Amino acid sequence: MRETERMLQGYGLTTAEFYYRMPDYRHVLNSFIWQDYDLAPDYPQLFKFIEFWQEKLEGPLHSVRFTHRKLISPGEWRNVVGEFRLH
């Protein structure tokens, strides 16, 4: 239920792809996919993770690409009181 409440508060799913250099082989790029519920346009969770990466992990970041999508909004939520079944 926590995720639904967050979505109704305006949170959306943010997906980020991090490209980083390998600590021992600086000429090799690797990628990492990260997802979390976040608020646009400030993206506090994303920037918190980027700060964690820069402080705690050895592989320096090359670039970050991300997208944000609201999965549900208050206007899309409706109560369904009936259901029709065929066969």
The parent domain of residue 51 ranges over: 2-76
pLDDT of residue 52: 97
User: How many domains would you assign to the chain?
Assistant: 1
Identify whether 81 is part of a domain. no
Identify whether 34 is part of a domain. yes
Identify whether 86 is part of a domain. no
Segment 21-62, tens digit of pLDDT: 999 999 999 999 999 999 999 999 999 999 999 999 999 999
Rounded to whole angstroms, the Cα distance separating 11 from 32 reads: 22
Identify whether 69 is part of a domain. yes
pLDDT of residue 25: 92
Identify whether 20 is part of a domain. yes
**Residue 8 backbone phi and psi in degrees, to 5:** -70, -20
pTM here is 0.77
Given a contact cutoff of 8 angstroms between Cβ atoms, the answer to whether 63 and 16 are in contact is no
Segment 60-79, tens digit of pLDDT: 999 999 999 987 765 666 67
